[in-house]
Amino acid sequence: MVQSHELDRIFAALTDPTRRAVLARLAEEDSLSVSELARPLPMSLQAVVKHLEVLEGAGLIIRQKTGRTVACRLVAAPMADAMAWLQRYTRFWESSLDRLAAALERTS
């Protein structure tokens, strides 16, 4: 089972739209360089690197340096841990919605 502090880092990393955009691009490509990831983003390369550090700290990406190029790859396992945590609440919401539907049927 994943530790609470690990989930905190994962969810914190996912709160930012820039970081989610980076993850979406990495989900489409096996590996992209930092420059390739930064190209479409409206910020400096240094700002992109800070976002990558947060993603790496949450275990969502790995960075590998080959020569002068730093390539990034997605690591999806931590997102699966976050999804598993969220799915524990699926039963709660399904039950709540079932009760609401039953109440609405009684009033119609």
The predicted-structure confidence for 25-52, as pLDDT tens digits, reads as follows: 999 999 999 999 999 999 999 999 999 9
Residue 2 clears pLDDT 80, i.e. is over it: no
Residue 1 clears pLDDT 70, i.e. is over it: no
CATH of domain 4-107: 1.10.10.10
DSSP bridge partners of 63: 72
d(CA 25, CA 60) in angstroms, rounded, equals: 13
Supply 61's token pair.
């990406």
* pLDDT one-digit tens code per residue, 58-98: 999 999 999 999 999 999 999 998 998 888 888 888 888 88
For the chain, what percent of residues have pLDDT higher than 70?
98
20 vs 6, 8, 17, 65, CA distance in Å? 17, 16, 5, 22
Residue pointed to by tokens 């590996």: 31
Report whether 28 contacts 76 (CB < 8 A).
Answer: no
Residues 6+ away with beta carbon under 8 Å from 25: 32, 37
